[in-house]
A and B are shown apart, each in its own frame.
Chain A
Amino acid sequence: MSNSPQSKHDAVVDELYAEAIHWKINTGEEKIHAKRIPGTWRALKWIASLVWVPFFLVPYLRWDDRQAILFDIPHRQFHLLGVTILPQDFWMLSLLLLFFAILLAVITALAGRVWCGFFCFQTVWTDVFTWVEEKLEGPPQKRIKLDQGALNFTKLRIKVTKHAIWLVVSALTGISFVAWFIDVYQLWADIFSFNLGITAGVTILLFIGGTYGLAGYLREQTCFWLCPYARIQGVMVDNTTAVPTYDFHRGEPRGRVKKGVKDAERTTGDCVDCNQCVAVCPTGVDIRHGQQEGCITCALCIDACDAVMEKLDRPKGLIRYESLDVLNGKEERPLLKRPRVWIYSLVLLFSLAGIGYGMASLDAIEIKVIHSRQPLYVLQSDGSVQNKYVIKVLNKMTEKLDVTITASGIDGIVVVGTDEPVSARKGMVTPRTVFVRIPRENIKTESQPLTFYAEATDSSGTKLKSERISVFIGPK
C-alpha cells in the first residue's frame, strides 16, 4: 500500500524522461554534412529551385526604352511591363502581401512547410552552396576528414576555390537584387567603373555578407533559430496536414537486417535502422521521432528510405507524405470538408479580386479635388458665391498630357480658371487652382455636391477620363 504512490510517481518520472532521450537540440555544435542521393523528391527540389532563375534574369528584360520591371524608389514609381504604379495605387500592395500570406497558410495547412522545403531562398541557396561543396570536397565523410586534416596545399586550393565560388554566387545575388531597383545595365557599368552609389554599394555588400554567411555557414541554424516563418508555419500544421512521416506502425520495432533470415520469420518491423534518413537530412533531424521543429519537409528522407526499401525488396513508403490522422487509422477528411481550406480560399479570392479590380481600374489620369477651407466661400460683387478648389491632376502616362477640367452638378455653375487645359507633366502631379461661382439663388443648402471631370487625349488618340465628387459650400 505504502509504495503505491511511490510507483505512480516513478511512472510519471519515466514518462517525463522517455521523450527527453530523443530530445537533442541542434544548436550548431556539430556541422551537418548531409549526404546527397538522387531520387524523385531530389529532382522535384531542383525543379522548384528554378523559381529563383527569374530573380537573376528578369531585370535584363526591356520594355520600350526602360527596364521591364523596375521598382524605382527614388522616383516613387513601380514599372511592371507597360503599367506604371505610383504611390497612389499602393493599396494593391497590401492585397498582394495578403495573398501571399494566405497562400503560405493554405499550402502549409495542406502539405506542410512546402515553402521551407522547396522554395525558400535559404533552402535553395544552401542547396546550391552545399552542391558546390560536394563537387569540390567530395561526400560527407571526405568533407569531415578534410576539415579535420592539417592545412596543406590541396586543402588550401579546395577551400579557396569553394569560398571564391560562394562569394561569386553571393555577389551575383546582391547585384541581381539591386537590379530590380535601379537600371541593371547602368548598374553593371557603375560596378566596373567603380562608380557605384552608396546605397546600391552597401546593399550589395550586405547581400554578399548575408548570402555567404547564411548559406555558407549558418545553414540549417537559420531555420532553427533565426527564421520566424519556420515557427509560424510550424503552428499551421495540424493532424490533417500531409507531411513527410515515418510509418512507425510498419517500421517498429526497428532491427538490423540479418543475413539468412527470411522475411516471413522476421520479428522486427520494416525499418532496418540504417540511418540513411538522418544522413541525407539537410537539418540533421531524425524523422522517425515524428514531425519536429527542425523538419523543413523537404522530403529528401523519403528518397533515402525508398532507395533502401527497394534494395531490400520491401514496399516503398515507409517514410511518405501522410497526415497523422491517416497514419493513426482515421479517415482522411476531404479537402472540401475542411473549414480552413474554405476560409483561406475565400481570402485568396478576395485579395485576387481586389488586385484585379485595382489593375483594371488603373486610370491613366486621376484627379484629386481639394476644397479650400480658408475661407470656405467668398461673396462676389454680383451676389454670387465663389469657392476655391485646387485640382491635382496625376498623369500616369509616359507623355505630357493636356487635361481639360470641367465641373457640373449645380444650376448656373460658372467655372473660372479652366479655359486653358492643364499641361500635366508625365508621371507627376500638376496642381491647378480653380474657382467655381454659383448664383446666390441656386444655393439651397450650406453644402451641395458637385462633380469635377478631367479629360485628355493621348498621342494614340485614346480618350482618358477621371472624375471626382466634391462639395460647394455657401452661406446659410
Chain B
Amino acid sequence: MADNNPFPGENNTGHIWDDNLRELDNPAPRWWMIAFWASILWVIGYAILYPMIPGLSGFTKGVMGWTQIGEYKEGLDEVEMVRGEFEAKLKGMTAKEILADEGLSSYTVASAKVLFGDNCAACHGAGGQGGPGYPVIADDDWLYGGSVEVLEQTIANGRMGVMPSHAKLLSDEEVDKLATAIMSGNPTAEPLFMSKACFACHGPDGKGMQALGSANLTDSVWRFAEEDQLASVKLTIKHGVNDTSDPMSRNAVMPKFGDRLSKDEIKKLAVYVYKLGGGQ
C-alpha cells in the first residue's frame, strides 16, 4: 500500500477509508508523554514504598511499613489517648464522686452506653424501659434502693427477691380481695393484709422494705406490669416470686455481674443507670 499512497509525506499509516479518511502516525503530545512516564515512575515509587505485589506466600511489604490495619490502630490509639485521660481519673473515684462532676459523668454516660447495651439492655431495654417481666430502671421506684452505691451492689452481686407462694394459704376469694385492695392503691384497708401477714414483708404501711426488696404496693409502678393488671397481681399473690415449691411462681432474677465485669465497669454502669432518670 505504501507504494501508491495518495497522501505521501504526511506520515500516515497507509490505512485509508472513503478516499481521504486516513490514520496518521503523529507522536502523542509532549505533555501527554511526560504524564505517561511520570505515572510509570510513580508506580515504581509506590511499589517501593507501599505494599503492592502479591505473591504465592504473601506480598511485598514496602519500605514504609504501612498497613491498613496499622493506620486503623493508630486512629484507635488517638481515641484511646483522649479516653485515657478520663479513664485514669475515673479509676480513683467512687461512683458518687463521678456523679458530682458533670464533665466526668457525661463522659461515663457516653462511654458506658456500649457496656449497657452488651450487658443490661437485653432485659431492661436499651433505654431502661424494661420489658415483660423485667423491671423498668428509668423510673424512680426501686425495690432495693436507687442510690448509686446500691445500684453498684445490685449489678455486682445480682438480686433474687423471694415472695412465697400463697396457693395453699389463701382462697381464691381472699386473693381477689387482696388484689382489689392493692389495685386501689390502699392495701392496708383490707384486713387480710394484716391477718395474712403480708405486712411482714411489705411493711405495715404497704410501702415495701428495701432491705428485703419487697415491692411498694401503694405507688403507681408495678413490678410485673401487664395488660390485665388485676390478673397479674392475683397471679403474683397466689404463686409468689421465685418460690421453688410452686412451679407457677414468677421467675425474677437479676444475675450477678461481679465476676463478668471489672469493678470500674460496674462503677460506670451504676452511674449510667443512675442517670437513666431514676437515681436517688
Which chain A residues have a beta carbon within 8 Å of chain B's beta carbons? 372-375, 378-383, 386, 388, 420, 423, 431-433, 435, 440
A372 to B127: give the CA distance in the assembly, Å: 9
Q: Can you identify 30 A-B contacts, CB atoms within 8 angstroms?
A: A374-B126, A374-B127, A375-B127, A375-B129, A375-B138, A378-B138, A378-B139, A378-B277, A379-B136, A379-B139, A379-B221, A380-B140, A380-B141, A380-B221, A381-B220, A381-B221, A382-B219, A382-B220, A383-B219, A383-B220, A386-B139, A386-B140, A386-B277, A388-B276, A388-B277, A431-B106, A432-B102, A433-B109, A433-B275, A435-B277
B154 CB–A CB distance under 8 Å: no
Say yes or no: is B125 at the interface (Cβ < 8 Å to chain A).
yes
Within 8 Å of chain A (Cβ to Cβ): is B216? Answer: yes
Chain B positions 103-146 with a Cβ under 8 Å from a chain A Cβ = 106, 109, 125-129, 136, 138-141
A-B residue pairs, 8 tightest by C-beta: A374-B127, A375-B129, A381-B219, A383-B220, A381-B141, A378-B138, A378-B139, A381-B221
Instruction: State the Cβ distance, A248 to closest chain B Cβ, in Å.
Output: 37
Instruction: Give the dominant DSSP class at B's interface.
Output: loop
Please give the residue numbers on chain B whose beta carbons come within 8 Å of chain A beta carbons, in ascending order: 102, 106, 109, 125-129, 136, 138-141, 216, 219-221, 275-278
CB distance from B130 to the nearest CB of A (A): 8
In the bound assembly, the distance between CA atoms of A423 and B136 in angstroms comes to: 31
| Cα distance A93–B23 in the bound complex, in angstroms | 52
Cβ distance A209 to chain B, nearest Cβ, rounded Å: 14
B121 nearest CB neighbor, chain A only: A374
Cα–Cα, bound, A375→B102 (Å): 23
Minimal Cβ-Cβ distance residue in A for B110: A431
> Which of B102, B126, B138, B278 counts the most A-chain CB atoms under 10 A from its CB?
B138
> Looking at the complex, which one of B106, B125, B216 makes contact with A381 (CB distance below 8 Å)?
B216
Instruction: Knowing A386-B139, A386-B277, A388-B277, say if A375 contacts B125 (CB, 8 Å).
Output: yes
Closest to B222 in A: A379
Residues of chain B with a CB closer than 8 A to A435's CB: 277
> Would A423 and B141 be within 8 Å (CB), given that A379-B220, A380-B220 are in contact?
no
Chain B residue with minimal CB distance to A374? Answer: B127
* Complex Cα spacing A423 to B125, Å: 31
- How far apart are B16's CB and chain A's nearest CB, in angstroms? 24
A382–B220 CA distance with the chains assembled, in angstroms: 6
Bound form: Cα–Cα A374–B129 in Å: 7
Q: Choose among A378, A381, A431 the residue that contacts B129 (Cβ–Cβ < 8 A).
A: A378
What residues of chain A lie closer than 8 Å to B216, measured between beta carbons? 381
CB neighbours (8 Å) of B138 from chain A are: 375, 378, 386, 388
For A378, A382, A431, which residue has the most chain B Cβ atoms within 10 angstroms? A378
Of the candidates B109, B128, B220, the one having the most CB atoms from chain A within 10 angstroms of its own CB is B220
Residues of chain B within 8 A of A375, CB atoms compared:
125, 127-129, 136, 138
Q: How far is the CA of A283 from the CA of B168 in the complex (A)?
A: 107
Residue of A nearest to B276 (CB): A388
CA A165 to CA B51, docked complex, whole Å: 42
A401 to chain B, nearest CB (A): 14
Contacts of B221 in A (CB 8 A): 379-381
Residues of A within 8 A of B277 (CB): 378, 386, 388, 435
Which residues of A have CB within 8 Å of B127?
372-375, 388
Q: How far is the CB of A265 from chain B (nearest CB, A)?
A: 50
* Chain A: minimal CB distance from B166 (Å): 25
Complex Cα–Cα for A381 and B276 (A): 15
Give complex CA distance A435, B102 in Å.
16
B109 CB contacts on chain A under 8 angstroms: 433
- Are B140 and A381 touching (Cβ within 8 A)? yes
Which residues of the partner chain B approach A378 to less than 8 Å between Cβ atoms?
Answer: 129, 136, 138-139, 277-278
Which residues of the partner chain B approach A440 to less than 8 Å between Cβ atoms?
Answer: 220
Residue of chain B at shortest CB distance from A440: B220
**Nearest CB to that of B138 among chain A residues?**
A378
Residues in B with CB closer than 8 Å to A382 are 219-220
* A residues in contact with B106, CB < 8 Å: 431
For residue B270, give the distance in angstroms from its CB to the closest CB of chain A: 16
Task: Report how far A440 CA is from B276 CA in the complex, Å.
Answer: 20
Chain A minimum-CB-distance residue to B139: A378
Q: Provide the bound-state CA to CA distance between A380 and B138, in Å.
A: 9
Question: Nearest Cβ in chain B — how far from A163, in angstroms?
Answer: 19
Report B-chain residues with C-beta under 8 Å of the C-beta of A420.
Answer: 102
B209 to chain A, nearest CB (A): 15
CA distance A423 to B221 in the complex (A): 35
- Expressed in whole angstroms, the minimum distance between the Cβ of A217 and any Cβ of chain B is 11
Task: Report Cα–Cα, A431/B110, bound state, in Å.
Answer: 11
Q: In this complex, what residue of A is CB-closest to B278?
A: A378
Assembled-state Cα–Cα distance A440/B219 (Å): 13
Q: How far is the CB of B165 from chain A (nearest CB, A)?
A: 26
Complex: how many Å from CA A365 to CA B272?
A: 28
Docked Cα-Cα span, A431 to B108, in Å, equals 13
Q: How distant is A387 from chain B, measured CB to nearest CB, in Å?
A: 9
Residue of A nearest to B141 (CB): A381
- When C-beta atoms are compared, the residue in chain B nearest to A433 turns out to be B275
A245 vs chain B, min Cβ distance (A): 36
- Smallest CB gap from B207: residue in A: A381
- Residue of A373, A379, A388, A435 contacting most chain B CB atoms (<10 Å): A379
A383 to B106, CA, bound (A): 29
Q: How far is the CA of A390 from the CA of B277 in the complex (A)?
A: 12
Nearest-neighbour CB distance to chain A for B245, whole angstroms, equals 31
Q: Which residues of A contact B275 (CB under 8 A)?
A: 433
What residues on A are CB-neighbors of B141 within 8 Å?
380-381
Contacts of A374 in B (CB 8 A): 125-127, 129
Q: Which residue of A lies closest to B216 (CB)?
A: A381
Complexed CA–CA distance, A433 and B220 (Å): 24
Complex CA–CA separation, A373 to B216 (angstroms): 28
CA of A381 to CA of B277 in the docked complex: distance in angstroms? 13
- Shortest beta-carbon distance, B269 to chain A, in Å? 16
Q: Within the assembled complex, what's the spacing in Å between the Cα atoms of A435 and B125?
A: 19
